[in-house]
Amino acid sequence: MRHPQIGSVAEFAKASRVPVINGGDGPNEHPSQALLDLYTIKKELTSKSKEIDGMHIAMVGDLKHGRTVHSLSQLLLLYEDIQFTLISPAELKMPIDIVGKLKDAGHAVFETEDMEAGLSDKTRFI
């Protein structure tokens, strides 16, 4: 289910007798896209005999309003030792609560406005 109002999918799921898949609720989250992104990342890493734990990912663009990066960040909390490089203009930085959760989970977080400085040879996904 997709709905423009924040929290609407969770509210609907409470009243439903069958499972509800969240296809996005307004500007809040987009967990179904995050699951697809995680599947793609895992498939790519597995083909190279690598793991999600310890990978380096760069997230670029409108990180303030980008519900897909918000949801993917939340999902990656389940893994260990990920290095996040967050590249965006200052006014579009990742919300501080999400950055805090990443750091609290033990992940390294580097924020920059400079694309060139933010990307390295160790970056595995953008």
Sheet holding 56-60: strands in order across? 56-60, 83-87, 108-112
Average pLDDT over all residues of the chain: 91
Q: Output the domain CATH number for residue 45.
A: 3.40.50.1370
**Per-position DSSP letters for 110-122, written without gaps between them:** EEES-HHHH--TT
The range of the structural domain enclosing residue 23 comes to 8-118
Has residue 124 been placed in a domain?
A: no
* Residue 8 pLDDT: 86
pLDDT per residue rounded down to tens, the chain (126 residues): 888 888 888 898 899 999 888 887 877 788 889 999 999 999 999 999 999 999 999 999 999 999 999 999 999 999 999 999 999 999 999 999 999 999 999 999 999 999 988 888 777 777
Structural domain count, the chain: 1
Task: Please report, as a single letter, which amino acid is at residue 121.
Answer: D
Give the integer Cα–Cα distance in Å for 96 and 107: 14
The DSSP call for residue 83 is E
